């Protein structure tokens, strides 16, 4: 069965259902959302088909600017933390025996599939005053009295890193497990200690993968909606929180749609940037 171009009309058959589904239930909703972002909001929460740029105009407010800035900063911080922990961890995992790898992969997949709600609940419990980490420390005599560690920026950041870490590891896994093991062995025979070999051979050889992972985790973190709400104060709320707030509670769909479109553009721009940067490096 050679790979060949479709010959007859019937050959396109298999494509009909998936293409149809994707167009109707993804492309069209997406397009609808873009259209709604230009609509005019009415009193009482309805909106009328129109073409106004009011919604996008609200981007220019200081408030929006602050939220946007914070969202980007938070996502970047989480991405950096996850990659900094994830790269050495995934590397060590890829060197481990098959059994160890499988065990860890099952653990990581299980945590990855855990709902953002549950992770939020788990961390708010862990950081609470009555049932958390500080209670444990008090019990061990390391602390005088229990303290609530949430809501706070640290809480949001930690929980988001927790959520994104399994994702980071699974994104890095294919590249690291396919890395030629003789590269580090060669480095060791040439006199580099194992740690030195990691930083001078593994990390540079996987430059592009690491950059791509940073971008992917950044986008992943950008989408975090519940954790900033559950573990942070209003000043810690991100763009995603704002979008849902506007859509559901403020009944301002057009504005929410506009922000969503903006979020997409930012994500796409980043992906494009990473792609471009990767191309530049290869050409050099």
Partner 1 sequence: MTALRRFFFLAVGLFLALPLIVVAGVSINEKQTLAFPPQGFSLSWYGEIFANDEWRSALFASLTLAATSAALALLVALPLAWFLWRRVAPWANIFQLLGVAPFTLPPVITALGLLTFWATSGFYGQPWTAVISHAIFFVTLPLVTLSLGFSAIDRSLVEAAATMGADDRAIFRTVIFPLILPYMVSGYAFAFVLSLNEYIVAYMTVGFTMETLPIKIFNALRYGYTPTMASVTVFFLAIAALVFGAIARFGDLPKLLGAMTSDR
Partner 2 sequence: MSGLTLSHVTKEFGTFKAVNNVSLSVPDGTFVCLLGPSGCGKTTLMRMVAGLDLPTEGSITLGGEDITRVPTHKRNLGMVFQSLALFPHLTVGENIAYALRIRGVSKDEQKKRVDELLSMIHLPGFSDRSVNKLSGGQRQRIAIARALAISPKLFLLDEPLSALDAKLREAMQVELRQLQQRLGITTIVVTHDQREAMTMADTVVVMNGGEIRQAAAPVDIYRRPADSFVADFIGSTNLIPFTTDGKGEASIFGSSVAGLTLGTTRSGTISVRPEDVQIVPSAESSLAGKVTFVRDLGGSVETFIEAGGQQIVAVSAPRSRPDVTVGQTVGLRFDPETSVVLAR
CB of 68 to partner 1, least distance (A): 14
Of 10, 17, 43, 283, which one interacts with partner 1 (CB under 8 A)? 17
Question: What three-state secondary structure class fits 41?
Answer: strand
Rounded to an integer, what distance in angstroms lies between the CA atom of residue 235 and that of residue 67? 8
Whether the ω angle into residue 16 lies within 30 degrees of 0, i.e. cis, is no
194 binds partner 2 (CB under 8 A): yes
Among 67, 82, 120, 201, binds partner 1 (CB under 8 A): 120
Chain centroid to Cα 76, Å, comes to 10
* Residues facing residue 47 across a β-bridge: 41
Residue 18 interacting entry, from partner 2, partner 1, none, C-beta within 5 to 8 Å by type:
partner 1
What phi, psi does 247 have (nearest 5°)? -70, -45
Asked whether position 199 contacts partner 2 by CB under 8 A, the answer is no
Binding partner selected for residue 67 from partner 2, partner 1, none, CB under the kind-specific 5 to 8 Å limit: none
Q: At a CB cut-off of 8 Å and minimum separation 6, what does 260 contact?
A: 33, 37, 243
**What minimum distance in Å lies between the beta carbon of 234 and partner 1?**
15
CA distance between the termini of the chain: 40
Is 79 near partner 1 (CB under 8 A)?
no
Q: Which is nearer to partner 2, 11 or 185 (CB)?
A: 185
Give 136-173 as a DSSP string.
HHHHTTS-SS-----SSHHHHHHHHHHHHHHHHHHHHH
CA distance 54 to 76: 29
Q: Closest separation between CB of residue 192 and partner 2, Å? A: 5
Binding status of residue 101 toward partner 1 by CB under 8 A: yes
* Cβ atoms < 10 Å from Cβ of 182: 9
Binding partner of residue 45 among partner 1, partner 2, none, CB cut-off 5 to 8 Å per kind: none
Q: Give the nearest distance from C-beta 284 to partner 1 in angstroms.
A: 28
Q: Is 229 in a helix, a strand, or coil?
A: helix
Stretch that binds partner 2, among 79-87, 153-161, 181-189, 210-218 (CB under 8 A): 181-189
- The verdict on 185 binding partner 2 (CB under 8 A) reads yes
Query: Using CB under 8 A as the criterion, what x/- string covers residues 233-272 for binding partner 1?
Result: -------x--xx--xx----x--xx--x--xx--x-----
Sign of torsion over alpha carbons 235, 238, 239, 242: negative
> Binding residues for partner 2, per CB under 8 A?
180, 182-183, 185-194, 196-197, 200-201, 204-205, 207
């Amino acid at each position: 069965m050679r790979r060949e171009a479709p010959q007859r009309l019937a050959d396109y058959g298999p494509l009909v259902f998936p293409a149809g589904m994707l167009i109707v239930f993804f492309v069209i909703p997406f397009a609808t959302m873009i259209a709604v972002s230009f609509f005019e909001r009415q009193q009482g929460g309805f909106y009328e088909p129109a073409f106004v740029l009011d919604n996008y105009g609200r981007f220019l407010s200081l408030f929006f600017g602050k939220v946007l800035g914070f969202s980007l900063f938070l996502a970047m911080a989480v991405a950096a933390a996850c990659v900094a922990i994830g790269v050495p961890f995934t590397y060590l995992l890829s060197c481990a025996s098959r059994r160890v790898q499988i065990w860890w992969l099952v653990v990581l997949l299980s945590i990855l599939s855990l709902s953002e709600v549950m992770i939020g609940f788990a961390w708010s419990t862990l950081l609470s005053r009555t049932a958390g980490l500080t209670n444990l420390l008090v019990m061990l005599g390391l602390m005088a009295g229990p303290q609530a560690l949430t809501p706070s920026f640290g809480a949001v950041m930690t929980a988001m890193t927790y959520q994104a870490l399994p994702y980071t590891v699974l994104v890095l896994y294919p590249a690291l497990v396919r890395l030629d093991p003789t590269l580090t062995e060669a480095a060791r025979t040439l006199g580099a200690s194992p740690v030195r070999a990691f930083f001078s051979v593994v990390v540079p050889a996987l430059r592009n993968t690491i950059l791509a992972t940073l971008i992917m985790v950044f986008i992943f973190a950008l989408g975090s909606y519940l954790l900033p709400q559950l573990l942070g104060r209003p000043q810690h709320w991100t763009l995603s929180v704002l979008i849902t707030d506007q859509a559901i509670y403020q009944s301002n769909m057009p504005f929410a749609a506009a922000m969503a479109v903006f979020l997409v553009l930012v994500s796409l721009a980043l992906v494009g940037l990473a792609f471009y940067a990767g191309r530049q490096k290869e050409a050099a």
